[in-house]
Amino acid sequence: MTQYYIEHQKILVSVDCIIFGFEQNKLKVLLGHRHIDPGKGLWSLYGGFVGNKESVDEAANRTLYELTGMRNVYMRQVGAFGSVDRDPGARVVSVAYYALINVKDYDQKMLAEHDVEWVDIEELPEMFSDHKQMIRKARKLMQQKIRTEPISFQLLPALFTLTQLQRLYEAVNGEEVDKRNFRKRIKEMDFIEKTDLIDKTGSKRGAYLYRFNKHAYNKEDANFKL
């Protein structure tokens, strides 16, 4: 095969996955410790290098599957991070992605297998390279998206209370919302359906459970805005 661009420096390309979950009213991110140098032992996102025969998106999906065992997960690109000195091991440009999963859908055995754990996004430890910067940018993008698209339901169980939904929005945005206005807006959305089921884990009286009707949302071409 004819070689082109041989006069240029070769740069490595990697992907890093920022996996968000919602647990105990906290927005959390899946982190682990690096097992290799440089930065061995430091907190880190889970990632890897892009293979010669895969696209960047394919590498991100493969990396996500290796860590979670899950496919068809909501995932979006955050952007490229390419500071010259971001990786002391080599010249590496990383493309970051964020994904949203339900914590309860994640096999607990894989936590131990990959030596990762859910960490409160408000209590991030010192991390390798620019990984904390990646997380912060991903959160900002999610904050923008969650106001106009129903991505929040990727983080919740199929049945949820309005309090759970409210707490999720507060955790993502890092601020309280007005309960009355929030619930009024939710109840105006026909694709968020109230069921006859009641959750009594929080109180004896309990709270009605709701569900997101994806089919109704797509069919109505609904305007989702919170």
Percent of the chain with pLDDT over 70: 97
What is the dihedral angle through the alpha carbons of 144, 150, 151, 154, rounded to the nearest 10 degrees?
160
* pLDDT the model gives residue 222: 61
Give tens-digit pLDDT for 127-176.
Answer: 999 999 999 999 999 999 999 999 999 999 999 999 999 999 999 999 99
> Quick check: 51 and 131 in contact, CB under 8 A?
no
* pLDDT the model gives residue 220: 61
* pLDDT the model gives residue 223: 67
Region of residue 61 (left: phi > 0; alpha: psi -120 to 50; beta: else) = alpha
* Burial of residue 73, with CB atoms counted within 10 A of its CB: 0-12 exposed, 13-18 middle, 19 or more buried: middle
Cis bond upstream, residue 88 (ω within 30): no
Can you count the helices (H) and strands (E) in the chain? 6, 9
CA distance 40 to 156: 34
Take residue 130 and report the two structure tokens written for it: 């620019």
Task: Report the 10 Å Cβ neighbour count for 203.
Answer: 8
175: helix, coil or strand? Answer: coil
* pLDDT the model gives residue 13: 98
> Quick check: 107 and 58 in contact, CB under 8 A?
no
* pLDDT the model gives residue 178: 95
CA distance 145 to 151: 7
pLDDT < 70 stretches in the chain: 1-2, 202, 220-223
* pLDDT the model gives residue 22: 98
Take residue 167 and report the two structure tokens written for it: 């707490």
